[in-house]
Structures are given as structure tokens and as C-alpha cells.
Amino acid sequence: MKKAATTLLAAALLLAPVPGCGPDGDVLVVYTPHGRDLLEHFGEGFEARHPGVQVHWLDMGSQEVLERLRSERANPQADVWWGAPDDMFIRAAEDGLLASFPPSWAEHLAEDHMDPESRWFATFLTPEVIAYNSAAVPRSEAPRDWNDVLDPRWRDQVLIREPLASGTMRAIFAAIIYRESEGTGDPTAGYDWLLRLDAQTKEYVLNPTLLYQKLARQEGLVTLWNMPDIETLKATTDFPIDYTIPEGGTPVVVDGIAVVHGAPSPELAQAFVEYVGSEEALQEAAEHFFRIPARTDLDPAGLPEWLREALPRIRPMEVERATLLEQTPVWMRHWDANIRRRGQAQGYE
């Protein structure tokens, strides 16, 4: 399928139900936040391996995917959900939204990187970082850790992707709340930290594309986002955007994939999951899209230089996953009701 046609079809899917078969052959529908370039690459790769199949994708925030799957429970429209923090897949599995399917590569994942009932599996590990406009901010002056973003010099210079729709931002906020609790899970100090961040924030941006554009135009100078997306921007655009890996530790999101329960094309969905987690596909994702494979059996010598160089600098932030799974929805509701656009009004400097 041509790229333009794929994009138009993806837009049309937002407005109408998707049949299991199209006029030119079988259709596979993928809900995902992974972005156009990666999706087109793997969509075309899958189509080449399965002549007659058309991959249609809807690119939306991971929280939006979860909500859409819930709304379509009685009449599923998607075959595959690819891309979201593992806590969202856990919730979807508990809600009965995901089918059980163990791909052949599951044996090469860490035990906590898959569902015990085979309803979702990790594909990538995604570190979160601090990004900045490198034309306006010298690397030596860029924030080096999370607390640096609260420095007064960044007042009204912080751009934040709309947190309620974004798995990346929810993961960052939840990890920081847990960190500020010093392991107790009490969110009080974390809420205070987010109020201070809110006081620094110029705008909550609707989607990642706008976030990148605004950062490149110096409508803000700093943001919090994920490392693979910023690496991809550096490699594929002339945007003056760079990043630092927080020195004190960073959330590392376990990014998953799953077959949707009641999928219109379950066999194609299973084949797509097999393909995405294959050694060849993961090496392509690392080489071309700066993704860190979750599989533990890949030869490091076969991974790109950027990844071999970055891995020693990534210090995963220690969090209690059970607490985050239970409390993140509560914390985000509190953020929306009591923190959003209230930092400066409450005198946070």
C-alpha cells in the first residue's frame, strides 16, 4: 500500500467501523502510538511477507488506545495493540480486552516483561529523558536531572505533552511521584514537585508532533519525553533538539504488544506479533528507529553503535510496579483536578 493511501485510510478509520476484509484482500488493523515512520516501515514489511494483506494503523496516544478498546469491547475493530507502558496492558488484560497468544520469541523475555497468561509481551524498553532546544541551550547548560527542570531559569520555558493522553508522560509523572515518596507511595511530596513543574510549564501540548515543532521554534526550550523519539528526530529532521539522560535515574517504560480479544483477523494479528518480536524486526527497529529491544538473547555486536554507547548511561529508576499500577490513575486524576495550571497561582517559584 502506498504511504499516502495508508495515511488516508488511517484517518478514515477514526470515523467508521473497520471490516475484516477490504476490496483488495485481508486487512490488519493496528492501534498504536508509535508514529508514522515506524508504522509505515513495519506495515510495509508485514505486507511484503503476506501478499494480499493490507495493514491499516491508527496512530493515537496510548491512553486513547485503551479507552477506544474499552468503548469497542462489544464490537472490536482493532486486531493488534502495539505500544504503551506495561501498566496499561495489565489493565487491558484485567478488563478482558486482550487475547491469549504466546509468540515463539516470548521465551527470550524477562519474566516481568510479559503477562503470565500470555495476553501481552514486551517489545521495547523505553528510557525517558529531558529534551531541549540545542540552538538556544548549550549542552553544558541543559538540565542534567529531573530537579534541574525546576530551576527558575526555565520558568515559562517548559513544554509538556498533554499528560492524560500520553503513556510517556503518565509514566514520568508516576515515577517522579513514587521517587519523591522515598519508597512509601505517599504522593504528597510528588504532588508538590508536579505543582512546581506546572509553575514552570508554558503549555500542555496536544500531540508529539506539535511538541517537537514548538520546541524547535523555541516556543519553549525544555520538555520531558522519551529517548527513542528524540533520537529519531535527530536522525531524520533538522530540528535543533537534543537530550540528556537524567543522571539520578530515569523511568524505563516496558513497551508492549498484544492481540485484541475478539480481533476481526486473529490469525493475521498473531502473525504480526510474531513478526514484530522477531530478531530481524527488532534489529531493524534499533537501527532505523532507535528502539531498545526487550529480548535478552540478541547479540550485542549486532546492535547499532548508538545503543551500545547509551546503555551504560541508563540508570533505571527504582519503583514498585504494583504501587504504580494501582495508584497511577488516582495520581493522574489528582493532577488534572488539583495541579494543572495551579502552580503559579499557588505561589510556586
In the chain, list all ranges with CATH 3.40.190.10. 3-125+254-303, 127-251+313-339
Confidence at 300, pLDDT banded by 50, 70, 90? confident
User: 341: left (phi > 0), else alpha (psi -120 to 50), else beta?
Assistant: left
Q: Answer whether CATH 3.40.190.10 is correct for domain 3-125+254-303.
A: yes
* 291/107 Cα distance (integer angstroms): 20
Task: Provide the percentage of residues in the chain whose pLDDT is more than 90.
Answer: 82
- What pLDDT does residue 35 have? 84
What pLDDT score was predicted for residue 349?
Answer: 60
Identify the CATH assignment for 127-251+313-339 out of 2.130.10.10, 3.40.190.10, 3.40.605.10, 1.10.443.10: 3.40.190.10
Q: Is the pLDDT of residue 276 over 70?
A: yes
Of the two residues 273 and 20, the one the predictor is more confident about is 273
Q: What is the pLDDT of residue 71?
A: 98
| pLDDT at residue 107 is higher than 90 | yes
Output the pTM of the full model. 0.82
* pLDDT tens, position by position, 16-64: 334 344 444 599 999 999 888 899 999 999 999 999 999 999 998 889 9
**pLDDT, tens digit, 9 for 90 and up, residues 183-241:** 899 999 999 999 999 999 999 999 999 999 999 999 999 999 999 999 999 999 999 99
| CA–CA distance, 340 with 212 (Å, rounded to integer) | 21
**Average pLDDT score, the chain:** 91
Assess whether pLDDT exceeds 80 at residue 266: yes
* The three grid cell numbers given for residue 265, joined into one nine-digit string: 483477523
Least confident of 3-17, 149-163, 212-226: 3-17
The span from the CA of 331 to the CA of 49, in Å, is 44
Average pLDDT over residues 255-263: 98
- Determine which of 1-5, 332-336, 341-345 has the lowest per-residue pLDDT on average: 1-5
